[in-house]
Amino acid sequence: MTNFASASLPVIDFAGWYSDRPDARRAVAAALRAACEHHGFFYLRHHGIPADLLAEAFAQSQAFFDQPMQAKLRVDKSRSPCNRGYEPLRAQVLEAGAPPDLKESFYIGREVPPDDPRVRAGRFNTGPNLWPEGLPGFRAVMTAYFDAAYALAADVVRALGASLELPEGYFDDYLADGAATLRLLHYPPQPPNPAPGEKGCGAHTDFGGITLLAQDDCGGLQVWDARAGRWIDAPPLPGCYVVNIGDLFGRWTNDRYRSTLHRVINTSGRERHSIPFFFTGNLAHVVSCLPGCLKEGESPKYPPVTVEQHQRDCYRRTYG
Ligand SMILES: O=C(O)CCC(=O)C(=O)O
Ligand SMILES: [Fe+2]
């Protein structure tokens, strides 16, 4: 473990959450509370996702991006009504006023057939994936990884419930039939003469509940430390996810848990790959200020909203 990381973002050992000992579970909850109140970001180790599954997901991701542009454009996101598929370099502006991001990406969600009533009803980002042809194993690996990441994210949300001293099962409805997005990202090296403000991924907060980020060994992720007033590096730590609180959890907790700005500048000189998993949750669930998140004299900053409406509003803001 690098000194730098231990000096910046906390590392939380999640094994305690899976233990039968109440004190071990309470210790995880307390560590989460401290991390979410300060940084809104932490490393998670002993999370239970098999290293080989993650390695396969990275190998398939790299194989996808290594294809000729023509093959990638066959699954272009513009062909999907539900935000799935390939998004070329410089297609997203995550930081208002900055040049477009130096990354290309591929979006995967839960596979829902076109004749499903939820798709017919026009539920946000709900529908079939666009699967690339000619990449054997891609779909099976991504589906297995999606399911494993969903299960882990649900466990982290349950632990966040404990950290907020909510009754067990408080998030059951939010976790049932939840939406999530697996995003494969590829960053070319930062150019020697970038345009002013040009970077891999502009400063932004994530929209949904929580994000589980797996990154290769290039580094480049930076997290805004509001108390210190500076960017801190969040380098990869072997076997750890970087986990962060998204806007939805910020809203839910009246910003007691922070949805924190972060960005990527790939100065490694190498191609960088990362795989964030955005846990959105049950689109029909209504999010309103949680008990225990108002200090005396405080009132809720945000009116109640469904997860679906919140997501629509956030997407409208970055994609226009
Ligand atoms: O690539 C990374 O390390 C972070 C990506 C990210 O923050 C995002 O896609 O929301
Ligand atoms: Fe992000």
Please give the distance, rounded to the nearest whole angstrom, from the Cα atom of residue 115 to the centre of ligand 2.
Answer: 32
Q: Out of 65, 221, 267, give the residue to mutate to test ligand 1, the one with the largest number of ligand atoms within 8 Å of its CB.
A: 221
* Distance from C-alpha of 204 to C-alpha of 183, rounded to nearest angstrom: 16
CATH of the domain at 240: 2.60.120.330
CA nearest to 12, candidates 34, 4, 21? 34
Atom 3 in ligand 1: residue holding the nearest Cα? 221
Please give the distance, rounded to the nearest whole angstrom, from the Cα atom of residue 204 to the centre of ligand 2.
Answer: 6
**Segment 73-121, tens digit of pLDDT:** 999 999 999 999 999 999 888 898 999 999 999 999 999 999 999 999 9
Please give the distance, rounded to the nearest whole angstrom, from the Cα atom of residue 198 to the centre of ligand 2.
Answer: 16
Which atom belonging to ligand 1 lies closest to the Cα atom of 94? Answer: 10
**Segment 218-227, tens digit of pLDDT:** 999 999 999 8
Atom 8 in ligand 1: residue holding the nearest Cα? 276
Ligand 1 environment, Cβ below 6 A: 183, 185, 201, 206, 213, 215, 221, 262, 264, 274, 276
Chain centroid to Cα 103, Å, comes to 16
**Segment 251-279, tens digit of pLDDT:** 999 999 999 999 999 999 999 999 999 99
Which atom belonging to ligand 1 lies closest to the Cα atom of 103? Answer: 1
Ligand nearest to the CA of 104: 1
Q: What pLDDT, on a 0 to 100 scale, did the predictor assign at position 318? A: 74
Domain span at residue 160 reads 4-319
Q: What is the dihedral of CA 258, 278, 152, 61, to 10 degrees?
A: -130
CA nearest to 289, candidates 244, 255, 247, 246? 255
Q: Out of 58, 201, 270, 278, give the residue to mutate to test ligand 1, the one with the largest number of ligand atoms within 8 Å of its CB.
A: 201
* Distance from C-alpha of 27 to C-alpha of 265, rounded to nearest angstrom: 34
* Distance from C-alpha of 275 to C-alpha of 277, rounded to nearest angstrom: 7
Q: Which residue is listed with tokens 């949300």?
A: 157
Neighbours of ion ligand 2 (CB under 5 A): 206
Res. 320 pLDDT band, cuts 50 70 90: low
Q: Which residue is listed with tokens 């799935």?
A: 84
Which atom belonging to ligand 1 lies closest to the Cα atom of 278? Answer: 10
The count of domains in the chain is: 1
Which atom belonging to ligand 1 lies closest to the Cα atom of 183? Answer: 9
CB atoms within 10 A of CB 146: 20
pTM: 0.96
Q: Out of 270, 274, 278, 311, give the residue to mutate to test ligand 1, the one with the largest number of ligand atoms within 8 Å of its CB.
A: 274
Ligand nearest to the CA of 246: 2
Q: What pLDDT, on a 0 to 100 scale, did the predictor assign at position 1? A: 37
Which atom belonging to ligand 1 lies closest to the Cα atom of 211? Answer: 10
Res. 4 pLDDT band, cuts 50 70 90: very low
* Distance from C-alpha of 184 to C-alpha of 71, rounded to nearest angstrom: 16
As a whole number, mean pLDDT of residues 174-198 equals: 95
**Segment 192-235, tens digit of pLDDT:** 899 999 999 999 999 999 999 999 999 999 999 998 999 999 99
Please give the distance, rounded to the nearest whole angstrom, from the Cα atom of residue 277 to the centre of ligand 2.
Answer: 10
Res. 295 pLDDT band, cuts 50 70 90: confident
Pair 51, 239: CB distance under 8 Å:
yes
Q: What does the radius of gyration of the chain's CA atoms come to, in whole angstroms? A: 19
Q: Which residue is listed with tokens 């846990």?
A: 279
**Segment 49-68, tens digit of pLDDT:** 999 999 999 999 999 999 99
Please give the distance, rounded to the nearest whole angstrom, from the Cα atom of residue 135 to the centre of ligand 1.
Answer: 24
Which atom belonging to ligand 1 lies closest to the Cα atom of 242? Answer: 3
CB atoms within 10 A of CB 61: 26
Share of the chain above pLDDT 70, in %: 97
